[in-house]
Amino acid sequence: MELEGQLVQNIGYKILITIKWSHKYLKNKRLNNIMEKIGNLDLNKTYLGDCMELAKHLPDDSVDLVVTSPPYANTVSYGHQTMSGANLVYTEHYVSWFLHLFYEAQRFLKPTGSFILNINDRVINGERKVYAFELVTRIVRETGLKLFDRYIWFKKSALPMTGEKRLNDRIEYIFHFVKDPKKFKTNTDRVREPYAEVSLKRFKNKVHGNDIINPDGTTELSQRGSSKPHPLGKKPITVFRFDTGSALRGLKHPAPFHPQLPEFFIKWLTDKGDIVLDPFMGGGTVALVCKRMKRHHIGFETNQAYIDMTEERLRQEERKKL
Protein backbone atom coordinates (compact mmCIF):
# COMPACT_ATOMS: atom_id res chain seq x y z
CA MET A 1 0.00 0.00 0.00
CA GLU A 2 2.84 2.32 1.00
CA LEU A 3 4.74 1.33 -2.17
CA GLU A 4 1.69 2.10 -4.29
CA GLY A 5 1.36 5.50 -2.64
CA GLN A 6 5.01 6.25 -3.36
CA LEU A 7 4.56 5.20 -6.99
CA VAL A 8 1.58 7.52 -7.41
CA GLN A 9 3.55 10.32 -5.77
CA ASN A 10 6.49 9.74 -8.17
CA ILE A 11 4.24 9.74 -11.23
CA GLY A 12 2.51 12.89 -9.96
CA TYR A 13 5.89 14.55 -9.51
CA LYS A 14 6.98 13.59 -13.05
CA ILE A 15 3.72 14.93 -14.51
CA LEU A 16 4.23 18.19 -12.61
CA ILE A 17 7.79 18.54 -13.98
CA THR A 18 6.57 17.78 -17.54
CA ILE A 19 3.81 20.41 -17.23
CA LYS A 20 6.32 22.93 -15.89
CA TRP A 21 8.76 22.26 -18.77
CA SER A 22 6.09 22.45 -21.46
CA HIS A 23 4.87 25.68 -19.92
CA LYS A 24 8.39 27.10 -20.04
CA TYR A 25 8.88 25.83 -23.62
CA LEU A 26 5.63 27.42 -24.81
CA LYS A 27 6.46 30.68 -23.03
CA ASN A 28 9.90 30.83 -24.71
CA LYS A 29 8.36 29.97 -28.07
CA ARG A 30 5.82 32.73 -27.62
CA LEU A 31 8.55 35.18 -26.63
CA ASN A 32 10.67 34.17 -29.62
CA ASN A 33 7.72 34.65 -31.91
CA ILE A 34 7.13 38.09 -30.47
CA MET A 35 10.80 38.89 -30.95
CA GLU A 36 10.96 37.71 -34.55
CA LYS A 37 7.83 39.36 -35.87
CA ILE A 38 6.37 42.81 -35.89
CA GLY A 39 2.74 42.31 -36.80
CA ASN A 40 2.85 40.19 -39.95
CA LEU A 41 6.31 41.40 -40.92
CA ASP A 42 9.54 39.58 -40.08
CA LEU A 43 12.10 41.39 -38.01
CA ASN A 44 15.72 41.67 -39.14
CA LYS A 45 14.66 41.87 -42.76
CA THR A 46 14.43 44.55 -45.46
CA TYR A 47 11.28 44.47 -47.56
CA LEU A 48 11.26 45.44 -51.22
CA GLY A 49 8.76 48.19 -51.92
CA ASP A 50 7.54 51.68 -51.23
CA CYS A 51 7.88 52.58 -47.55
CA MET A 52 4.69 54.67 -47.72
CA GLU A 53 2.73 51.46 -48.40
CA LEU A 54 4.80 49.05 -46.31
CA ALA A 55 4.65 51.27 -43.21
CA LYS A 56 0.89 50.62 -43.07
CA HIS A 57 1.69 47.01 -42.05
CA LEU A 58 3.52 48.07 -38.89
CA PRO A 59 1.31 47.60 -35.82
CA ASP A 60 0.38 50.52 -33.55
CA ASP A 61 2.92 51.38 -30.83
CA SER A 62 5.47 48.85 -32.09
CA VAL A 63 8.67 50.64 -33.16
CA ASP A 64 11.25 51.99 -30.70
CA LEU A 65 13.28 54.12 -33.07
CA VAL A 66 13.35 55.29 -36.68
CA VAL A 67 16.72 56.43 -38.04
CA THR A 68 16.64 57.40 -41.66
CA SER A 69 17.76 59.63 -44.49
CA PRO A 70 15.32 59.98 -47.38
CA PRO A 71 16.15 60.59 -51.03
CA TYR A 72 16.67 64.25 -51.93
CA ALA A 73 13.82 66.15 -53.49
CA ASN A 74 14.25 66.53 -57.24
CA THR A 75 16.76 63.71 -57.42
CA VAL A 76 16.84 60.83 -59.82
CA SER A 77 16.27 58.30 -57.17
CA TYR A 78 19.07 55.81 -57.10
CA GLY A 79 18.12 54.19 -60.39
CA HIS A 80 14.62 53.30 -59.22
CA GLN A 81 11.24 54.86 -58.84
CA THR A 82 10.50 56.55 -55.55
CA MET A 83 6.92 57.55 -56.28
CA SER A 84 4.62 55.43 -58.33
CA GLY A 85 4.82 56.51 -61.94
CA ALA A 86 7.61 59.04 -61.47
CA ASN A 87 11.32 58.76 -61.48
CA LEU A 88 11.73 62.09 -59.73
CA VAL A 89 10.28 63.31 -56.49
CA TYR A 90 9.56 66.86 -57.50
CA THR A 91 10.18 69.55 -54.90
CA GLU A 92 6.55 70.72 -55.05
CA HIS A 93 5.28 67.24 -54.22
CA TYR A 94 8.05 66.21 -51.85
CA VAL A 95 6.50 67.49 -48.64
CA SER A 96 3.05 66.02 -49.19
CA TRP A 97 4.60 62.77 -50.41
CA PHE A 98 6.85 62.47 -47.36
CA LEU A 99 4.21 63.55 -44.86
CA HIS A 100 2.39 60.20 -45.28
CA LEU A 101 5.25 58.43 -43.52
CA PHE A 102 4.98 60.73 -40.51
CA TYR A 103 1.23 60.13 -40.16
CA GLU A 104 2.08 56.43 -40.02
CA ALA A 105 4.96 57.06 -37.60
CA GLN A 106 2.62 58.81 -35.18
CA ARG A 107 0.69 55.52 -35.13
CA PHE A 108 3.46 52.90 -35.17
CA LEU A 109 5.99 54.59 -32.83
CA LYS A 110 5.89 53.52 -29.20
CA PRO A 111 5.17 56.38 -26.76
CA THR A 112 8.79 55.84 -25.61
CA GLY A 113 10.06 56.05 -29.19
CA SER A 114 11.90 58.60 -31.33
CA PHE A 115 12.15 59.42 -35.03
CA ILE A 116 15.55 60.67 -36.21
CA LEU A 117 15.41 62.28 -39.63
CA ASN A 118 18.63 63.24 -41.39
CA ILE A 119 17.72 65.50 -44.27
CA ASN A 120 19.41 68.05 -46.43
CA ASP A 121 18.09 70.80 -48.66
CA ARG A 122 19.22 71.63 -52.16
CA VAL A 123 20.18 74.63 -54.18
CA ILE A 124 18.22 74.74 -57.42
CA ASN A 125 18.74 77.57 -59.95
CA GLY A 126 20.74 79.56 -57.42
CA GLU A 127 18.04 79.35 -54.74
CA ARG A 128 18.18 77.26 -51.57
CA LYS A 129 14.91 75.38 -51.38
CA VAL A 130 13.03 75.43 -48.09
CA TYR A 131 11.25 72.08 -48.36
CA ALA A 132 13.05 70.64 -45.33
CA PHE A 133 11.68 73.44 -43.12
CA GLU A 134 8.27 73.20 -44.72
CA LEU A 135 8.28 69.47 -44.03
CA VAL A 136 9.20 69.93 -40.36
CA THR A 137 6.53 72.61 -39.91
CA ARG A 138 3.85 70.43 -41.46
CA ILE A 139 4.91 67.34 -39.47
CA VAL A 140 4.48 69.29 -36.24
CA ARG A 141 1.26 71.01 -37.27
CA GLU A 142 -0.47 68.08 -38.92
CA THR A 143 0.66 64.68 -37.65
CA GLY A 144 0.74 65.02 -33.87
CA LEU A 145 4.45 64.21 -33.65
CA LYS A 146 6.45 66.71 -31.58
CA LEU A 147 9.83 68.18 -32.52
CA PHE A 148 12.04 67.38 -29.53
CA ASP A 149 15.16 68.95 -30.99
CA ARG A 150 17.11 69.81 -34.12
CA TYR A 151 20.79 69.01 -34.52
CA ILE A 152 23.47 69.99 -36.96
CA TRP A 153 25.72 67.42 -38.55
CA PHE A 154 28.96 69.19 -39.34
CA LYS A 155 30.63 67.17 -42.07
CA LYS A 156 34.37 66.80 -41.71
CA SER A 157 34.69 66.69 -45.46
CA ALA A 158 32.47 67.77 -48.33
CA LEU A 159 32.80 68.78 -51.95
CA PRO A 160 33.55 72.50 -52.40
CA MET A 161 30.67 74.62 -53.72
CA THR A 162 31.02 76.05 -57.20
CA GLY A 163 30.64 79.78 -57.90
CA GLU A 164 32.04 82.81 -56.17
CA LYS A 165 29.18 83.86 -53.96
CA ARG A 166 28.13 80.72 -52.13
CA LEU A 167 30.24 79.64 -49.18
CA ASN A 168 31.34 76.04 -48.80
CA ASP A 169 28.49 74.05 -47.32
CA ARG A 170 29.45 71.51 -44.67
CA ILE A 171 26.23 70.86 -42.78
CA GLU A 172 23.14 68.67 -42.83
CA TYR A 173 20.12 68.76 -40.53
CA ILE A 174 19.01 66.10 -38.11
CA PHE A 175 15.49 66.47 -36.72
CA HIS A 176 14.43 64.52 -33.64
CA PHE A 177 10.67 63.87 -33.40
CA VAL A 178 8.92 62.13 -30.55
CA LYS A 179 5.42 60.94 -29.93
CA ASP A 180 5.43 61.97 -26.31
CA PRO A 181 8.06 64.42 -25.01
CA LYS A 182 7.43 63.22 -21.43
CA LYS A 183 7.60 59.48 -22.12
CA PHE A 184 10.27 59.03 -24.79
CA LYS A 185 13.36 57.29 -23.48
CA THR A 186 17.00 58.34 -23.51
CA ASN A 187 20.16 56.86 -22.00
CA THR A 188 22.32 59.97 -21.85
CA ASP A 189 24.95 58.41 -19.58
CA ARG A 190 25.78 55.97 -22.40
CA VAL A 191 26.75 58.78 -24.78
CA ARG A 192 28.69 61.05 -22.44
CA GLU A 193 32.07 62.18 -23.73
CA PRO A 194 35.40 63.00 -22.07
CA TYR A 195 35.71 66.61 -20.82
CA ALA A 196 38.17 68.90 -22.54
CA GLU A 197 41.30 69.65 -20.51
CA VAL A 198 40.26 73.30 -20.17
CA SER A 199 36.85 72.41 -18.68
CA LEU A 200 38.47 70.11 -16.12
CA LYS A 201 40.79 72.97 -15.13
CA ARG A 202 37.76 75.24 -14.66
CA PHE A 203 36.17 72.64 -12.40
CA LYS A 204 39.41 72.45 -10.36
CA ASN A 205 39.65 76.22 -9.97
CA LYS A 206 35.94 76.33 -9.21
CA VAL A 207 35.37 79.30 -11.45
CA HIS A 208 32.14 79.04 -13.38
CA GLY A 209 30.11 81.31 -15.53
CA ASN A 210 27.63 81.75 -12.70
CA ASP A 211 30.15 82.40 -9.90
CA ILE A 212 30.19 85.73 -8.17
CA ILE A 213 33.68 87.23 -8.13
CA ASN A 214 34.27 89.39 -5.04
CA PRO A 215 36.28 92.63 -5.24
CA ASP A 216 39.21 90.88 -3.49
CA GLY A 217 39.28 88.24 -6.23
CA THR A 218 37.73 85.41 -4.15
CA THR A 219 34.75 83.62 -5.67
CA GLU A 220 31.45 82.52 -4.22
CA LEU A 221 30.00 79.49 -5.89
CA SER A 222 26.55 80.16 -7.13
CA GLN A 223 23.86 77.60 -6.38
CA ARG A 224 23.23 77.11 -10.05
CA GLY A 225 25.34 74.67 -12.08
CA SER A 226 27.44 71.78 -10.87
CA SER A 227 30.83 72.32 -9.26
CA LYS A 228 32.05 68.82 -10.06
CA PRO A 229 32.58 67.12 -13.40
CA HIS A 230 30.17 64.26 -14.05
CA PRO A 231 32.08 60.99 -13.47
CA LEU A 232 30.97 59.60 -16.84
CA GLY A 233 31.87 62.70 -18.84
CA LYS A 234 30.05 65.63 -20.38
CA LYS A 235 26.82 65.59 -22.33
CA PRO A 236 27.30 65.70 -26.10
CA ILE A 237 26.52 69.00 -27.81
CA THR A 238 23.89 69.45 -30.49
CA VAL A 239 26.47 69.67 -33.28
CA PHE A 240 27.76 66.29 -34.43
CA ARG A 241 30.94 65.52 -36.32
CA PHE A 242 30.06 62.18 -37.85
CA ASP A 243 32.08 61.03 -40.83
CA THR A 244 30.32 60.89 -44.18
CA GLY A 245 29.45 57.62 -45.87
CA SER A 246 31.96 58.39 -48.61
CA ALA A 247 34.60 57.34 -46.09
CA LEU A 248 33.29 53.78 -46.55
CA ARG A 249 35.32 52.53 -49.46
CA GLY A 250 33.87 49.90 -51.76
CA LEU A 251 30.20 50.39 -50.84
CA LYS A 252 28.19 50.72 -54.05
CA HIS A 253 25.52 53.10 -52.75
CA PRO A 254 25.58 56.83 -53.57
CA ALA A 255 24.57 58.10 -50.13
CA PRO A 256 25.08 55.65 -47.26
CA PHE A 257 25.25 56.68 -43.61
CA HIS A 258 28.57 56.30 -41.92
CA PRO A 259 27.84 53.84 -39.06
CA GLN A 260 28.72 56.60 -36.55
CA LEU A 261 25.40 58.39 -37.10
CA PRO A 262 22.96 55.51 -36.44
CA GLU A 263 25.33 54.17 -33.73
CA PHE A 264 25.01 57.36 -31.68
CA PHE A 265 21.21 57.54 -31.81
CA ILE A 266 20.69 53.80 -31.29
CA LYS A 267 22.95 53.89 -28.22
CA TRP A 268 21.23 56.99 -26.85
CA LEU A 269 17.60 56.14 -27.59
CA THR A 270 17.22 52.34 -27.46
CA ASP A 271 18.05 49.29 -25.37
CA LYS A 272 19.16 45.82 -26.43
CA GLY A 273 16.33 43.92 -28.12
CA ASP A 274 14.52 47.11 -29.22
CA ILE A 275 13.17 47.54 -32.75
CA VAL A 276 14.76 50.06 -35.11
CA LEU A 277 13.23 50.93 -38.49
CA ASP A 278 14.91 52.47 -41.53
CA PRO A 279 12.17 53.08 -44.11
CA PHE A 280 14.83 54.08 -46.70
CA MET A 281 17.31 51.31 -45.93
CA GLY A 282 19.67 51.93 -48.86
CA GLY A 283 22.91 49.95 -48.40
CA GLY A 284 21.82 48.75 -44.95
CA THR A 285 23.95 50.73 -42.50
CA VAL A 286 21.16 50.84 -39.91
CA ALA A 287 20.69 47.06 -40.22
CA LEU A 288 24.42 46.51 -39.76
CA VAL A 289 24.66 48.74 -36.70
CA CYS A 290 21.59 47.04 -35.18
CA LYS A 291 23.25 43.65 -35.60
CA ARG A 292 26.41 44.93 -33.93
CA MET A 293 24.45 46.50 -31.09
CA LYS A 294 21.97 43.63 -30.60
CA ARG A 295 18.88 45.55 -31.66
CA HIS A 296 16.28 44.24 -34.13
CA HIS A 297 16.01 46.04 -37.43
CA ILE A 298 13.35 46.28 -40.07
CA GLY A 299 13.81 48.07 -43.38
CA PHE A 300 12.05 49.10 -46.58
CA GLU A 301 13.82 49.78 -49.86
CA THR A 302 12.69 50.15 -53.48
CA ASN A 303 15.90 48.85 -55.05
CA GLN A 304 16.57 45.10 -54.85
CA ALA A 305 20.30 45.62 -55.54
CA TYR A 306 20.55 47.61 -52.26
CA ILE A 307 18.67 44.93 -50.35
CA ASP A 308 21.17 42.37 -51.65
CA MET A 309 23.96 44.70 -50.51
CA THR A 310 22.41 44.91 -47.05
CA GLU A 311 22.11 41.13 -46.78
CA GLU A 312 25.73 40.70 -47.87
CA ARG A 313 26.94 43.22 -45.27
CA LEU A 314 24.99 41.33 -42.59
CA ARG A 315 26.48 38.01 -43.72
CA GLN A 316 29.99 39.50 -43.59
CA GLU A 317 29.30 40.74 -40.06
CA GLU A 318 28.13 37.25 -39.08
CA ARG A 319 31.30 35.70 -40.52
CA LYS A 320 33.42 38.12 -38.44
CA LYS A 321 31.89 36.62 -35.30
CA LEU A 322 32.94 33.06 -36.22
Ligand X SMILES: C[S@@+](CC[C@H](N)C(=O)[O-])C[C@H]1O[C@@H](n2cnc3c(N)ncnc32)[C@H](O)[C@@H]1O
User: Using CB under 6 A as the criterion, which residues of the chain lie in contact with ligand X when the complex forms?
Assistant: 50-52, 69, 71, 77-78, 80, 82, 253, 255-257, 279-280, 282-283, 285, 300-303, 306
On whether the CB atoms of residues 83 and 100 are closer than 8 A, the answer is no
Q: Which amino acid is at 255?
A: A
Please report how close the Cβ of residue 33 comes to ligand X at its closest, in angstroms: 27
Please report how close the Cβ of residue 50 comes to ligand X at its closest, in angstroms: 4
Question: How many beta carbons lie within 10 A of that of residue 284, not counting itself?
Answer: 28
Which residue intervals of 63-110 are DSSP H helices? 91-108
Instruction: Name every residue whose Cβ is closer than 8 Å to that of residue 34 and which is 6 or more positions away in sequence.
Output: none
Please report how close the Cβ of residue 237 comes to ligand X at its closest, in angstroms: 23
Please report how close the Cβ of residue 67 comes to ligand X at its closest, in angstroms: 8
Please report how close the Cβ of residue 196 comes to ligand X at its closest, in angstroms: 31
> If we measure between CA atoms, which residue out of 79, 106, 117 comes closest to residue 286?
117
On whether the CB atoms of residues 98 and 135 are closer than 8 A, the answer is yes
CA 47 to chain centre: 18
Give the single-character DSSP code of 300.
E
Closer to ligand X by Cβ: residue 165 or 252? 252
Closer to ligand X by Cβ: residue 36 or 53? 53
Instruction: Name every residue whose Cβ is closer than 8 Å to that of residue 209 and which is 6 or more positions away in sequence.
Output: 225
Please report how close the Cβ of residue 208 comes to ligand X at its closest, in angstroms: 41
Closer to ligand X by Cβ: residue 113 or 283? 283
Q: Which amino acid is at 14?
A: K
Please report how close the Cβ of residue 133 comes to ligand X at its closest, in angstroms: 19
Q: Nearest residue by C-beta to ligand X?
A: 282
On whether the CB atoms of residues 71 and 98 are closer than 8 A, the answer is no
- Residue 265 gets the label, from left (phi > 0), alpha (psi -120 to 50) or beta, of alpha
Closer to ligand X by Cβ: residue 112 or 121? 121
Q: What is each CA distance from 166 to 28, 161, 163, 307, in whole angstroms?
A: 60, 7, 6, 37
Closer to ligand X by Cβ: residue 110 or 253? 253
Closer to ligand X by Cβ: residue 274 or 278? 278
Closer to ligand X by Cβ: residue 112 or 277? 277
Question: How many beta carbons lie within 10 A of that of residue 202, not counting itself?
Answer: 15
